[in-house]
Amino acid sequence: MYKLFAVWTSPTRREEEAFERHYVEVHLPLAASIPGVRKLVATRTADSLGDTKAALHRVTELWFDDRAAMEVAEASPEGQATIKDAVEIQERFGVTLTSVAGPAAEQPLGA
């Protein structure tokens, strides 16, 4: 499994509702339409451990079979539309997107 993480900083409080509406109603459906995406997990990071404010606003995972599948997906019309929307989100809401990816492996739990 190969995962792409889209990590978003917080919009201003004034823009938070509009950001969320656009992200849920427009951006996530675009991302979900990308061919080769095996799973999409969108997390609103509203809480953090301790008394500090969450440093991030959203973390979204896109799961692919491997890096090659992610690269094909990125080049697809749906991938390009999603990237274009991400650029527009950053410009409109003043947020920053950091995207990182890599192979994922589950680790066994327990002693």
- pLDDT, tens digit (0-9, with 9 covering 90-100), for 37-95: 999 999 999 877 777 777 799 999 999 999 999 999 999 999 999 999 999 999 999 99
- pTM, two decimals, is 0.90
For 1-111, strand residue ranges (E) read: 2-8, 39-44, 58-64, 97-103
Answer whether 95's CB lies under 8 Å from 57's CB: yes
Q: How confident is the model at residue 104 (pLDDT cuts 50, 70, 90)?
A: very high
Give me the domains of the chain, ranges plus CATH numbers.
2-47+54-103 (3.30.70.100)
- 100 membership: H or E segment, kind and range: strand 97-103
d(CA 104, CA 100): 12
d(CA 13, CA 17): 8
